[in-house]
């Protein structure tokens, strides 16, 4: 397995897997298929190619050369927020689950965030009912600091979201 930053050539594979993610795990994401189904390849490229200002990048995990999962890392550029990074959109395709891909991807994004000068914490939000993801995040040291009631409304049903944080030693 290989983990690397996604680039423009990964856009078609990323978009296919992203739409699969939104279809098969609607409760895990705040975006819906309708939001993203009509994105042009250029829009997808802009989304995944590391931003020149360092505000966003996406890591992909490849198994036998196939994109098996991804996670985005957001780094706010405003001075008062530069110590806080956030991960988003974590996904491993069903065929590759329970083989350590999620843990490897999470370790990689944590290492990436730690390596950014000045970043002291990594945050995320997770559907409170998502036991698999919560177990993975907790195993990696994330702790829940708050719950937003009814943060998501999916097909008419409200879902709470847990906000989690991993703080880095200075
Ligand atoms: C959550 C997700 C990324 C885990 O990916 P994965 O490749 O299966 O994870 P791993 O194999 O590395 O598992 C790591 C740990 O996560 C936990 N875990 C993973 N799947 C689990 C499950 N179905 N039930 C309980 N715990 C689970 C376990 O603690 C596991 O460690 P173990 O295998 O030693 O028990 C994957 O299930 C997924 O993409 N789900 C749909 C999208 C999603 O929920 N994304 C998160 C949005 S916040």
C-alpha 153 – ligand 1 centre gap (Å) = 23
DSSP state of 40: -
pLDDT digits (tens, 9 = 90+) for 58-113: 999 999 999 999 999 999 999 999 999 999 999 999 999 999 999 999 999 999 99
Which atom of ligand 1 lies closest to the CA of 98?
11
In order of 87, 96, 110, 119, the CA distances from 135 in angstroms are 16, 17, 16, 24
> 148-157 burial, b if ≥16 CB within 10 A, otherwise e?
eeebbeeeee
Position 169 pLDDT exceeds 90: no
Q: Please list, in sequence order, all residues whose beta carbon lies within 8 angstroms of the beta carbon of residue 154, skipping any fewer than 6 positions away.
A: 26, 27
pLDDT for the residue 144: 98
* 125: nearest Cα among 107, 151, 101, 106: 151
d(CA 120, ligand 1 centre) in Å = 25
51 lines ligand 1 (CB under 6 A): no
* Ordered domains of the chain (ranges, CATH): 2-120 (3.40.630.30)
């Amino acid at each position: 397995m290989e983990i690397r930053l996604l680039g423009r050539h990964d856009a078609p594979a990323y978009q296919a897997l992203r739409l699969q993610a939104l279809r098969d795990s609607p409760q895990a994401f705040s975006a819906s298929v309708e939001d993203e189904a009509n994105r042009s390849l250029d829009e997808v490229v802009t989304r995944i190619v590391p931003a020149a200002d360092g505000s966003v990048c996406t890591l992909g995990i490849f198994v036998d050369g196939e994109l098996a999962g991804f996670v985005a890392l957001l780094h706010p550029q405003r001075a008062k927020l530069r110590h806080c990074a956030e991960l988003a959109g974590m996904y491993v395709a069903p065929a590759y689950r329970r083989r350590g891909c999620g843990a490897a991807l999470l370790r990689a994004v944590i290492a990436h965030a730690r390596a950014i000068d000045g970043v002291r914490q990594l945050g995320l939000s997770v559907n409170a009912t998502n036991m698999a993801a919560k177990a993975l995040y907790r195993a990696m040291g994330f702790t829940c600091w708050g719950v937003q009631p009814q943060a998501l409304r999916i097909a008419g049903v409200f879902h709470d979201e847990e906000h989690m944080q991993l703080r880095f030693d200075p």
